[in-house]
Amino acid sequence: FFPFGVNIDSFEKVRLVVTEKPEEFKPIKKPIIGYIGGIHKWIDQNLVKSVCLGLPDFAFVFIGPIQTDISLLSGIKNIFFLGSKEHGELPSFVKFFSAAIIPYIISEYTKNVYPTKLNEYLAMGKPVVSTNLPEIVFFNQKHNNLVYTAPTSEEFISGINTALKQDNGSLEEKRINAARENSWRNRIEQMSIAIEQA
């Protein structure tokens, strides 16, 4: 099984070189808790609402196309929906996240989902807080609990606070190394080895 990888070079380039915030981020105060990807029915909006209300001094930024009704989240002052961006623009946004989130509902569908954004977040060295998706649990077993997991809104809030308090250069390097391990280059190499062995 080969899950989604990450184009590590494009993220690495931005992480090392870009210093200018995207225009849309300039009026948004840190800490910025970010999400990239479709705003779809698998996002746990009740969880997101509780977390945003529980952390009123944090900005929650969602970058991606809106694909479902988000009226539950309307009127919450610290949520920002910035719409779709070109894939090549994403690293410049993730660079200025304080932490990143994967707030998916646990369902029969998401039990089989490997979030593509996981390695994109990690490639930028960002701490990640996620619900207990089986693929995240498996990832943590392999990578020494690198992702903060939280089954409830209270634990999600605690996970975000802990992620920001614990963040340091050593953890950032571990995240980047995990993303490198999960790069498309490595995925293709692993596929090639399997083909050669067969």
φ/ψ (deg, to 5) at 57: -90, 5
Give the span between the Cα atoms of 53 and 50, in whole angstroms.
Answer: 5
The first and second tokens of residue 25, run together, are 């981020």
CA atoms within 13 A of residue 75's CA, in its CB half-sphere:
2
pLDDT in tens, 132-151: 999 999 999 999 999 999 99
Q: Please give the pLDDT value at position 96.
A: 96
pLDDT in tens, 92-126: 999 999 999 999 999 999 988 999 899 999 999 99
Q: Please give the pLDDT value at position 3.
A: 78
